[in-house]
Structure 1
Amino acid sequence: MTRFFSTLVCFLGLGAAAFAQETMKPEATEIWEPEPRVVTPVVMGKAPSDAIVLFDGKNADEWVAAKDGKAVGWKVEGNAITAVKGAGDIRTKREFGDIQLHIEFRTPAVVDGTGQGRGNSGIFLQGIYELQVLDSYNNRTYSNGQAGSIYKQTMPLVNACLPPGEWQMYDIIYTAPHFNKDGIKVVPAYITVFHNGVLIQNHTEIRGTTPYIGLPKNPAHGKGPLQLQDHSNPTSYRNIWVREL
């Protein structure tokens, strides 16, 4: 008897749902508020209207030397900013959490060295987590250290590198990790990366810090800067902008 009544209730419920579906007006499922704000899209290399432009080729006003917060020692020339050997990493004055990042880079046209010695640099999200920049065009190295890798963690899905000396681009969606009041990571960082329009990291979990030696660590932190690495190679950057998410 119990099973009979359960079946009957289920039948009546489905019948009521079907009746409601047939009698429902299209307007009942239309959402009018809130309305998404209008943003000017990326056109001819220009940043979206709600983006924060971090480098437009004119000056390095948004950046400082990572080691001491003083003026950057990199060279600004030809609408690009280029690493100078020994000048050290540079970082943004602003700090970020979740972002969309567009950044263009160029490894040296003159090939000098092999493996990690060719066009090496890196993009550190929140100043901590490295997305590798490297000349990986016909240049074999360890897969989780080639261009587009989460350094020493996750290799890219494919190698989408252009030849040395050509401008390339990363388009990145990054969500920051969350830590509880005890400093324990409760939500990891995730990153999606398109390299020259090709998906190479698909909502990849970042397991922690990205050291050259050792395993990832997870110190608690808040927002942090975008940092570019001086790895003794004259790698250049241009057209850098972020949208805070």
Structure 2
Amino acid sequence: MRTISKLTLLTLLGTISATTLFAQTKFQPQDTEFYEPKSKVVHTSSNKAPSDAIILFDGTNLSQWESVKTKGTNAPWTIKDGVLTVKPGTGDIQTKQNFEDFQLHIEWKSPEVIKGEGQGRGNSGIFLQGKYEIQVLDNNNNATYVNGQAASLYKQKQPLVSATKNDGEWHTYDILYTAPRFNKDGVLIKKAIVTVIHNGVAVHYNTQIEGTTEYIGMPKIIPHGPEPIILQDHGDLVNFKNIWIRPL
């Protein structure tokens, strides 16, 4: 017959006693309810930015943006009838403010005159923290590499589905982004994560970003802190409107 040691017996009896005590405890609903701190109130309404959002473009001016070529100077793109349009040859524009984790809303539309093919058709891009591109491209009847189509994490991940629109219609991107984290020595300890809702459809869900967007070669790991949002001048007359961001 196997003998149980005193230590094992005491441990067993202690476990039984704790389990019995827990089972006999009479919980009330209020034991698991709390009332503080209260959540901040954010006011919302249809077709308007949340009340706590930073308005990056409301159709009137580019006061939140500057030229990437010549930092500190006004963004040179065109505004007409509440729409922001790329001015080819003037270069990318970026937000004056830097961001880390955020919710970004942006609407875009292909050029009025559709021309070109592949990557030369309605091409622009939204660079998260200036380094990680969500592609903007006219996808309608336009074959290209799948990790370069609209809503792709350019040259890294294709979208789960292609959420198309008819020619001339506006697209929406709602982007939830968690920035990468680096330790004090600049060593990566957590990669960036992005979720993208394209025209109301989830096309990236907690997608890991491997590093910087590179046209040639593999993504690079570059230590950084908060950085701006960049809109790309790829030479096409892509349109944007209703741009807002909520730091998280």
TM-score by length of 2: 0.94
User: 1:1-245 alignment to 2 at 5 Å?
Assistant: 1-2=4-5, 5-20=10-25, 23-41=26-44, 43-69=45-71, 70-245=73-248
CA contact (8 A) 1:179 1:186 kept: yes
Shift of residue 78, structure 1, vs aligned partner? 1.4
- Quote the Cα distance in structure 2 between the aligned partners of 1:58 and 1:172: 23
- Quote the Cα distance in structure 1 between the aligned partners of 2:167 and 2:18: 65
> SS at 1:10's partner residue?
helix
- Quote the Cα distance in structure 1 between the aligned partners of 2:66 and 2:161: 33
In angstroms, what is the RMSD of aligned CA positions? 1.3
Q: Look up the equivalent residue of 2:21 and give its one-letter code.
A: A
Shift of residue 10, structure 1, vs aligned partner? 3.1
- Quote the Cα distance in structure 2 between the aligned partners of 1:191 and 1:50: 21
* Greater C-alpha Rg: 2
CA contact (8 A) 1:179 1:187 kept: yes
- Quote the Cα distance in structure 2 between the aligned partners of 1:7 and 1:165: 72
User: Which ranges in structure 1 are unaligned for 5 or more consecutive residues?
Assistant: none
Shift of residue 220, structure 1, vs aligned partner? 0.9
Shift of residue 45, structure 1, vs aligned partner? 1.3
Shift of residue 84, structure 1, vs aligned partner? 1.4
- Quote the Cα distance in structure 1 between the aligned partners of 2:104 and 2:53: 9
Note the alpha carbon deviations across 1:161-190, whole angstroms, 9 max, x for none: 212321110001011111111111111111
Shift of residue 151, structure 1, vs aligned partner? 0.7
- Quote the Cα distance in structure 2 between the aligned partners of 1:142 and 1:16: 63
> SS at 1:18's partner residue?
helix
Shift of residue 26, structure 1, vs aligned partner? 1.2
- Quote the Cα distance in structure 2 between the aligned partners of 1:28 and 1:225: 45
Q: Look up the equivalent residue of 2:92 and give its one-letter code.
A: D
- Quote the Cα distance in structure 2 between the aligned partners of 1:8 and 1:133: 65
Please identify, of 4-13 and 93-102, the stretch whose mean Cα deviation from structure 2 is larger: 4-13
Note the alpha carbon deviations across 1:217-238, whole angstroms, 9 max, x for none: 1111111111000111100110
- Quote the Cα distance in structure 1 between the aligned partners of 2:232 and 2:79: 15
TM-score by length of 1: 0.95
Runs of 4+ with deviation above 6 angstroms: none
Q: Look up the equivalent residue of 1:243 and give its one-letter code.
A: R
Q: Look up the equivalent residue of 1:13 and give its one-letter code.
A: A
Count of paired positions: 242
User: Which ranges in structure 2 are unaligned for 5 or more consecutive residues?
Assistant: none
Seq. identity, %: 50
